[in-house]
Structure formats: structure tokens, C-alpha cells
Copies of this chain bind each other. A is one copy, B any other.
Amino acid sequence: MGDRVTIQEVAAAAGVSASSVSNLLNGRTGKMVPATRERIERAIADLGYRPNRAARQLRSGRTQTLGLVVPSVGNPFWGAFAREVEVAALELGCNVLLCNSERDAARERRYVEELWEDGIRSIILCTSLPSLDHVADVIEDGLRLVTFDRPAQPNDPASVISISIDNNVGGQIATSHLLGLGHDKIAFVSGSIRSVNRAARYRGYCDAIEAAGMSVTDMPSWTGFGAEQFGDVEAAQVGRAAAHALLAPDADRPTAIVAVNDMTALGFCRGARDMGLVVGEDVSVIGFDGIILAELYDPPLTSVRQPIGEMARLAVGEAVQAGARSDGAGRSVLLRPEIVVRESTRPPHSTATSRADVPTGGSR
């Protein structure tokens, strides 16, 4: 550490010019005499030189920093994803600048612009807004944008890359699982489904219901929180409120529910408990995402898992290889989610004895 060593000092120590040092630093070693190269490398090592990023960026306009905008790291899913992104970025020598949008378009826009102004040219944006209009001009200016958890939309700018699971398929998998267990009163529980991925999950749910020869309109439903009152962290509250409404004694009670994500599912479980019901017995619950807490919960929560490690790696790769691929053409990668069956989903009207009497052993 200590006082900064500059490129000039390195050049002096190696008996070359700053230009040569710079060339080496930037991999332009094609025409460099090995001896020169070695002298420079030795000088760099000896002096413990590390380039000043501000200067480098000021001059070149480039950064080694990746922007990551998530709805909220307070939500375990996004926290886990952010961590995976950081790991992947680190492997590629990038830093990550993390921002929380709270799923607010204005904040998303503000952050994206701010990052751009800071010289950051690659951003992973975890948004699920149907339109990217709010960041269109930055994209036009040349921002490399990778959206996550939001499949490509018809009107997206051409250069946008999207990484997502196939939420429609996920919704179907979840619902089919419940149908397969024999449930026939299945509700879908979510906050606002204005977001693309949520809508897709809901559509998957509908598709599976219809495919089974039933009608979605016959299913119990809950619309207490159609608007966006709740941020991501409050998802649990949505689930809890839904449980209170759907499981009321006088309600048309579902025997199972598909929650739009795990936090909502966990909230629903909590709400079911408030109502004196036992999840997995009185009502089955399946969530989405596959957060660690799902496995920890009592009962362990069945969930449609997103392979976040793989997805993070993909997203970072696309975001960083900015100039590498000259086509600049966007693309959409849709990964297949997989269900992890645990104990929160069982056949309806289970005849099993109360779980207080029966040790069920570990899951998986």
C-alpha cells in the first residue's frame, strides 16, 4: 500500500516510457520484445504498482465495474443472487456496484443513469417492468444492458440481453404438481402481477388448470392487493394477508395455493398458522425461487427453483463481454426451472396423523 506508485515511476524503474508500461497493462504486448516486457513486469512487481482507476477511466471512458440493480437485497432471493453475481464478476476481474430499486421505475431509471454517468457501461438490471422505456435513452447511448428475471419483450431495444427462467413453464410445473396430488381448488397468490415474470407465472398456472379440464374462474381467488403497495420485502405480508382472506372459515377455501415466490409462500404459511391450520395437511403450499429458507421452514417448502448460480454466471458473462461480440445483437436465454418437492405439498384431506405425533425425518 502506502503512497501511490505512478506509471511514470514504473517506467523510470524499468528504463522505458510510460507508453510501454501502458501497453503491457492493456495487453498490447504483440510486438513487444520479451526482455522489455520482463523489465516492466519486474518493475511493476517490485514497486507494487496498481493503476489508478479514476485516471484510467477518465482517459479511456471504460470501467471495470459492473452495475447491478436488484429490487432489494433485503429479500433473501435477491441477496443470494447478488452474491452469486459478485462471485462471477470477481472471477472476471470486475467489481460490482449494487443498487436497490425497490421495484420502482423512477429509481431504476435514476440508478441506471447514475451508473452510466459514473462511466459504467454494463448493467445487470433485475426488473420485471413490461417496458424498458424508462432506460431507453441510456441504452441508445450504448449501455450494455442485461435484464434478469424478465424475459425479452417484443418492444425491447435490439441490444438488450435477457436471462430468465421460463416462468410460464414454472407456473405450469407448480400447478401440475398440485393437480397431480389430487388438488382441485388451487388459488394463485401474488401481489401485483403487473410485472412480466409474475404474469407469466400466473399464465402458467392458468394453462395448467385449463389443461386439466378445469376452469380458472372456478378457483378461489384473492385480489386484496392488486396494486403495488408492497415492495419485495413485504411479499411475506401479502402472503399472510392472502391466507387470512382465503382461509377464513366462511370462505371458499382452496386446498392448495401456488405462491408467486417463496417469501409470499412463507407469509402464507404464517397466515395459515394464524388461522389454526397446518400447512401440508389442511392446505398445501408451493413457492417459487428456491431460497435457502424454503428448506429450513417448518414444514419444508416445496418450491420451483431458479438456478441462480448458473444464471448469475451467464448474466455477468454477457454483461462483461461487452465489446467482445461485435454483433451487439440482443438475445434471450430462457432456463428451465425445476421443482423441489418437500413437505408443504401433500394430497388433499390427508389422512396422515398430526405431525406432532409423527417424526417425518429430514427432507430430500
**A218 to chain B: closest CB distance in Å?**
29
- Chain B positions within 8 Å of A138 at CB level: 1
- Chain B positions within 8 Å of A267 at CB level: 296
Interface readout for A105-118 with B: 1 if CB under 8 Å, 0 if not? Answer: 00000000110111
A362 within 8 A of B: yes
- Chain B positions within 8 Å of A355 at CB level: 356
How many A residues face the partner with a CB closer than 8 A? 65
Known: A72-B83, A79-B76, A97-B97. A53 touches B118 (CB 8 A): yes
- Chain B positions within 8 Å of A119 at CB level: 52-54
Can you identify 17 A-B contacts, CB atoms within 8 angstroms?
A2-B137, A52-B117, A53-B54, A53-B119, A54-B55, A58-B58, A73-B79, A74-B83, A74-B292, A80-B233, A233-B292, A236-B296, A266-B293, A269-B296, A270-B295, A297-B298, A356-B356
Question: Do the beta carbons of A114 and B97 come within 8 Å of each other?
Answer: no
Q: Give the CA-CA distance A75 to B298 in the complex, in Å.
A: 19
Q: Give the CA-CA distance A260 to B257 in the complex, in Å.
A: 34
Interface residues of A (CB under 8 A from B): 1-3, 50, 52-55, 57-58, 72-76, 78-80, 82-83, 86-87, 95-100, 113-114, 116-119, 137-138, 141, 233, 236, 266-267, 269-270, 273-276, 278-279, 292-293, 295-300, 354-356, 358-362
Question: Do the beta carbons of A113 and B1 come within 8 Å of each other?
Answer: yes
- Chain B positions within 8 Å of A114 at CB level: 95
Question: Do the beta carbons of B79 and A141 come within 8 Å of each other?
Answer: no
Known: A53-B118, A296-B236. A278 touches B356 (CB 8 A): yes
- Chain B positions within 8 Å of A118 at CB level: 53-54, 95
With A87-B100, A97-B97, A270-B297 given, can you name 9 additional A-B contacts, CB distance below 8 Å? Answer: A1-B138, A54-B58, A76-B76, A97-B98, A267-B296, A274-B359, A274-B362, A293-B293, A356-B356
Known: A79-B78, A79-B79, A98-B98. A298 touches B276 (CB 8 A): no
Q: Give the CA-CA distance A76 to B87 in the complex, in Å.
A: 18
**A249 to chain B: closest CB distance in Å?**
11
Partner of A116, one of B1, B54, B55, B362: B1
Known: A95-B114, A266-B296, A267-B296. A75 touches B79 (CB 8 A): yes
